[in-house]
Amino acid sequence: MSLFHPVNLLCPQCEAPVSMSAVGSVNADRRPDLRDDILENRFQDAACPACGESFRLQPQFNYLDAGRGQWIAAMPANRLRDHLELEDEANDLFSTSYGSQAPAAAQEVGKGLTVRLTFGWPAVREKLLLRQLELDDVIVEMMKLHILRSVETAPLAEGIELRLVDVDEETGSYVFAWLETASEKYIEYLNVPSELYVVIHDNPEGWAAIRGRLETGPFVDMQKLYMGEGRHTGDERQAG
Protein backbone atom coordinates (compact mmCIF):
# COMPACT_ATOMS: atom_id res chain seq x y z
CA MET A 1 0.00 0.00 0.00
CA SER A 2 1.15 3.55 -0.69
CA LEU A 3 0.40 5.87 2.22
CA PHE A 4 -0.14 9.61 2.15
CA HIS A 5 -0.84 12.02 4.99
CA PRO A 6 -1.98 15.65 4.88
CA VAL A 7 0.59 18.36 5.61
CA ASN A 8 0.13 22.10 5.98
CA LEU A 9 2.99 24.34 4.92
CA LEU A 10 3.67 27.92 3.99
CA CYS A 11 4.40 28.95 0.43
CA PRO A 12 8.12 29.83 0.25
CA GLN A 13 7.25 32.77 -2.04
CA CYS A 14 4.18 34.47 -0.49
CA GLU A 15 3.78 32.56 2.80
CA ALA A 16 0.17 31.63 2.03
CA PRO A 17 -0.89 28.36 3.71
CA VAL A 18 -0.72 25.35 1.36
CA SER A 19 -2.18 21.91 2.11
CA MET A 20 -0.91 18.87 0.32
CA SER A 21 -0.54 15.10 0.67
CA ALA A 22 2.91 14.00 1.76
CA VAL A 23 3.86 10.44 0.97
CA GLY A 24 5.03 8.17 3.81
CA SER A 25 5.50 5.02 1.79
CA VAL A 26 5.49 4.10 -1.89
CA ASN A 27 4.60 0.66 -3.19
CA ALA A 28 5.81 0.73 -6.80
CA ASP A 29 4.39 -2.72 -7.55
CA ARG A 30 0.86 -1.41 -6.95
CA ARG A 31 1.47 2.21 -7.95
CA PRO A 32 3.90 2.17 -10.89
CA ASP A 33 2.77 5.73 -11.67
CA LEU A 34 4.53 6.94 -8.51
CA ARG A 35 7.77 5.35 -9.69
CA ASP A 36 7.30 7.13 -13.04
CA ASP A 37 6.75 10.42 -11.19
CA ILE A 38 10.05 10.01 -9.32
CA LEU A 39 11.90 9.22 -12.56
CA GLU A 40 10.27 12.25 -14.24
CA ASN A 41 11.24 14.57 -11.36
CA ARG A 42 7.67 15.57 -10.58
CA PHE A 43 6.74 13.49 -7.53
CA GLN A 44 5.56 15.58 -4.55
CA ASP A 45 5.51 18.79 -6.57
CA ALA A 46 3.03 21.39 -5.36
CA ALA A 47 1.79 24.76 -6.56
CA CYS A 48 0.71 27.61 -4.30
CA PRO A 49 -3.01 28.35 -4.85
CA ALA A 50 -2.41 32.05 -4.00
CA CYS A 51 0.62 33.02 -6.11
CA GLY A 52 1.21 30.00 -8.33
CA GLU A 53 4.77 29.41 -7.10
CA SER A 54 5.71 25.78 -7.54
CA PHE A 55 7.86 23.92 -5.05
CA ARG A 56 8.61 20.38 -4.01
CA LEU A 57 8.40 18.55 -0.70
CA GLN A 58 11.66 16.90 0.28
CA PRO A 59 11.47 13.08 0.24
CA GLN A 60 10.78 11.24 3.48
CA PHE A 61 9.33 7.86 2.68
CA ASN A 62 9.99 4.15 2.30
CA TYR A 63 10.01 2.81 -1.21
CA LEU A 64 9.23 -0.80 -2.10
CA ASP A 65 9.50 -2.36 -5.53
CA ALA A 66 9.42 -6.12 -4.97
CA GLY A 67 9.35 -6.77 -8.72
CA ARG A 68 12.64 -4.99 -9.25
CA GLY A 69 14.08 -5.97 -5.86
CA GLN A 70 14.42 -2.51 -4.36
CA TRP A 71 13.73 -1.19 -0.87
CA ILE A 72 14.84 2.39 -0.21
CA ALA A 73 14.62 4.68 2.79
CA ALA A 74 14.41 8.05 0.98
CA MET A 75 15.33 10.92 3.30
CA PRO A 76 15.42 14.72 2.92
CA ALA A 77 18.61 16.27 1.53
CA ASN A 78 19.35 18.11 4.79
CA ARG A 79 19.65 14.86 6.80
CA LEU A 80 22.83 13.78 4.98
CA ARG A 81 25.07 14.49 7.97
CA ASP A 82 23.02 12.02 10.05
CA HIS A 83 23.69 9.18 7.64
CA LEU A 84 25.14 6.75 10.21
CA GLU A 85 22.18 7.14 12.58
CA LEU A 86 19.72 6.90 9.68
CA GLU A 87 21.45 3.78 8.37
CA ASP A 88 20.73 2.15 11.73
CA GLU A 89 17.09 3.31 11.59
CA ALA A 90 16.71 2.04 8.01
CA ASN A 91 18.21 -1.34 8.96
CA ASP A 92 15.85 -1.61 11.95
CA LEU A 93 12.81 -0.69 9.88
CA PHE A 94 13.74 -3.13 7.13
CA SER A 95 14.37 -5.84 9.69
CA THR A 96 10.86 -5.56 11.14
CA SER A 97 9.22 -5.08 7.72
CA TYR A 98 11.01 -7.64 5.53
CA GLY A 99 14.05 -8.89 7.44
CA SER A 100 14.77 -11.25 10.33
CA GLN A 101 12.13 -9.64 12.64
CA ALA A 102 9.34 -9.81 10.03
CA PRO A 103 6.66 -12.49 9.51
CA ALA A 104 7.75 -15.43 7.36
CA ALA A 105 5.82 -14.35 4.28
CA ALA A 106 7.37 -10.87 4.42
CA GLN A 107 10.83 -12.40 4.88
CA GLU A 108 10.31 -14.29 1.60
CA VAL A 109 9.77 -10.95 -0.15
CA GLY A 110 12.72 -9.46 1.75
CA LYS A 111 15.18 -12.03 0.40
CA GLY A 112 14.92 -10.47 -3.03
CA LEU A 113 15.32 -6.87 -1.86
CA THR A 114 18.41 -4.65 -1.89
CA VAL A 115 18.31 -2.12 0.97
CA ARG A 116 19.40 1.44 0.30
CA LEU A 117 19.32 4.82 2.04
CA THR A 118 19.26 8.04 0.00
CA PHE A 119 19.18 11.80 0.66
CA GLY A 120 17.30 14.21 -1.59
CA TRP A 121 15.40 13.59 -4.82
CA PRO A 122 18.33 13.19 -7.26
CA ALA A 123 19.75 10.29 -5.22
CA VAL A 124 16.54 8.25 -4.99
CA ARG A 125 15.83 8.90 -8.67
CA GLU A 126 19.34 7.69 -9.54
CA LYS A 127 18.81 4.41 -7.65
CA LEU A 128 15.62 3.73 -9.67
CA LEU A 129 17.33 4.65 -12.93
CA LEU A 130 20.35 2.41 -12.24
CA ARG A 131 18.06 -0.54 -11.55
CA GLN A 132 16.20 0.13 -14.78
CA LEU A 133 19.54 0.20 -16.64
CA GLU A 134 20.60 -2.98 -14.77
CA LEU A 135 23.72 -1.28 -13.41
CA ASP A 136 25.38 -2.06 -10.07
CA ASP A 137 25.07 1.12 -8.01
CA VAL A 138 28.31 0.35 -6.14
CA ILE A 139 30.22 0.34 -9.44
CA VAL A 140 28.55 3.62 -10.44
CA GLU A 141 29.84 5.19 -7.20
CA MET A 142 33.31 3.87 -8.11
CA MET A 143 32.94 5.53 -11.53
CA LYS A 144 32.31 8.82 -9.72
CA LEU A 145 35.47 8.39 -7.63
CA HIS A 146 37.39 7.74 -10.83
CA ILE A 147 35.84 10.83 -12.45
CA LEU A 148 36.82 12.98 -9.45
CA ARG A 149 40.42 11.84 -9.77
CA SER A 150 40.46 12.37 -13.52
CA VAL A 151 39.03 15.84 -14.00
CA GLU A 152 41.09 18.96 -13.35
CA THR A 153 38.38 20.82 -11.52
CA ALA A 154 35.17 19.58 -9.98
CA PRO A 155 32.49 21.65 -8.25
CA LEU A 156 32.67 19.31 -5.26
CA ALA A 157 31.28 20.97 -2.14
CA GLU A 158 28.75 20.26 0.57
CA GLY A 159 25.29 20.28 -0.98
CA ILE A 160 26.67 19.58 -4.47
CA GLU A 161 26.68 16.04 -5.82
CA LEU A 162 27.42 13.99 -8.91
CA ARG A 163 24.61 11.80 -10.24
CA LEU A 164 24.14 9.53 -13.22
CA VAL A 165 21.05 11.09 -14.78
CA ASP A 166 20.69 9.64 -18.27
CA VAL A 167 22.12 7.52 -21.09
CA ASP A 168 23.16 9.12 -24.37
CA GLU A 169 21.11 7.11 -26.88
CA GLU A 170 23.51 7.75 -29.77
CA THR A 171 26.83 6.86 -28.15
CA GLY A 172 25.63 4.68 -25.28
CA SER A 173 27.70 6.80 -22.88
CA TYR A 174 26.43 7.69 -19.43
CA VAL A 175 25.38 11.25 -18.70
CA PHE A 176 26.44 12.46 -15.26
CA ALA A 177 25.45 15.81 -13.79
CA TRP A 178 26.83 17.96 -11.04
CA LEU A 179 23.81 19.33 -9.26
CA GLU A 180 22.69 21.10 -6.15
CA THR A 181 21.01 18.46 -4.00
CA ALA A 182 18.29 20.49 -2.29
CA SER A 183 17.20 22.68 -5.22
CA GLU A 184 17.97 20.02 -7.90
CA LYS A 185 19.60 22.81 -9.92
CA TYR A 186 21.96 21.41 -12.56
CA ILE A 187 25.45 22.90 -12.65
CA GLU A 188 27.15 20.97 -15.43
CA TYR A 189 26.91 17.73 -17.39
CA LEU A 190 29.60 15.31 -18.42
CA ASN A 191 29.46 12.31 -20.73
CA VAL A 192 31.33 9.25 -19.55
CA PRO A 193 32.02 6.32 -21.90
CA SER A 194 30.29 3.11 -20.85
CA GLU A 195 33.69 1.34 -21.08
CA LEU A 196 34.58 2.84 -17.68
CA TYR A 197 31.80 0.78 -16.09
CA VAL A 198 33.11 -2.37 -17.80
CA VAL A 199 36.72 -1.72 -16.78
CA ILE A 200 35.77 -1.33 -13.10
CA HIS A 201 33.37 -4.28 -13.27
CA ASP A 202 36.14 -6.50 -14.66
CA ASN A 203 38.63 -5.55 -11.93
CA PRO A 204 36.92 -6.56 -8.66
CA GLU A 205 40.24 -7.19 -6.85
CA GLY A 206 41.55 -3.72 -7.62
CA TRP A 207 38.37 -2.12 -6.29
CA ALA A 208 37.72 -4.48 -3.37
CA ALA A 209 38.88 -2.03 -0.67
CA ILE A 210 36.69 0.76 -2.04
CA ARG A 211 33.75 -1.61 -2.38
CA GLY A 212 34.20 -2.55 1.26
CA ARG A 213 34.01 1.10 2.30
CA LEU A 214 30.95 1.81 0.13
CA GLU A 215 29.09 -1.24 1.43
CA THR A 216 29.41 -0.65 5.19
CA GLY A 217 25.67 0.05 5.28
CA PRO A 218 22.64 0.87 3.10
CA PHE A 219 23.93 4.39 2.32
CA VAL A 220 25.84 3.43 -0.83
CA ASP A 221 27.18 6.81 -1.95
CA MET A 222 30.72 8.10 -2.48
CA GLN A 223 29.85 11.12 -0.35
CA LYS A 224 30.22 8.93 2.75
CA LEU A 225 33.95 8.67 2.03
CA TYR A 226 34.28 12.44 2.42
CA MET A 227 32.22 12.90 5.58
CA GLY A 228 33.97 12.36 8.90
CA GLU A 229 35.36 9.03 9.98
CA GLY A 230 32.37 7.04 8.85
CA ARG A 231 31.64 3.53 9.99
CA HIS A 232 34.67 1.36 10.60
CA THR A 233 34.95 -1.88 8.72
CA GLY A 234 35.92 -4.97 10.70
CA ASP A 235 39.61 -4.96 9.85
CA GLU A 236 40.21 -1.27 10.60
CA ARG A 237 41.59 -0.05 13.89
CA GLN A 238 39.16 2.14 15.84
CA ALA A 239 40.71 5.62 15.67
CA GLY A 240 40.62 8.37 18.30
CA–CA distance, 135 with 90 (Å, rounded to integer): 23
Smallest gap from residue 51 Cβ to Zn ion (A)? 3
Instruction: Please select the residue that binds Zn ion; options are 50, 156, 187, 198, rule is CB under 5 A.
Output: 50
Q: Give Cβ neighbours of residue 163 (< 8 Å, ≥ 6 apart).
A: 122, 123, 125, 126, 176, 177, 179
Angle between helices 137-150 and 121-132 (to 10 degrees): 120
For the beta carbon of residue 202, count every other beta carbon within 10 angstroms: 8
CA–CA distance, 160 with 122 (Å, rounded to integer): 11
Instruction: Please select the residue that binds Zn ion; options are 7, 13, 36, 232, rule is CB under 5 A.
Output: 13
Tell me: does residue 55 bind Zn ion (CB under 5 A): no
Smallest gap from residue 58 Cβ to Zn ion (A)? 18
Smallest gap from residue 53 Cβ to Zn ion (A)? 5
Using the contact rule CB under 5 A, the part of the chain among 12-20, 61-69, 181-189, 211-219 near Zn ion is 12-20
Nearest to 63 by CA among 97, 86, 108, 92: 97
> Are 104 and 96 in contact, with CB atoms under 8 Å apart?
no
Tell me: does residue 46 bind Zn ion (CB under 5 A): no
Tell me: does residue 48 bind Zn ion (CB under 5 A): yes
**Cross-strand pairs, 228:** none
Is the CB of 10 or the CB of 187 nearer to Zn ion?
A: 10
Smallest gap from residue 20 Cβ to Zn ion (A)? 13
Using the contact rule CB under 5 A, the part of the chain among 42-50, 101-109, 169-177, 179-187 near Zn ion is 42-50
Is the CB of 3 or the CB of 51 nearer to Zn ion?
A: 51
For residues 36, 19, 183, 115, the Cα torsion angle rounded to the nearest 10 degrees is -50
Using the contact rule CB under 5 A, the part of the chain among 10-18, 86-94, 129-137, 174-182 near Zn ion is 10-18
Tell me: does residue 177 bind Zn ion (CB under 5 A): no
CA–CA distance, 218 with 220 (Å, rounded to integer): 6
Q: Give Cβ neighbours of residue 49 (< 8 Å, ≥ 6 apart).
A: 16, 18
Is the CB of 53 or the CB of 136 nearer to Zn ion?
A: 53
Number of residues that bind Zn ion (CB under 5 A): 8
> Are 180 and 155 in contact, with CB atoms under 8 Å apart?
no
Tell me: does residue 72 bind Zn ion (CB under 5 A): no
Residues that bind Zn ion (CB under 5 A): 11, 13-14, 16, 48, 50-51, 53
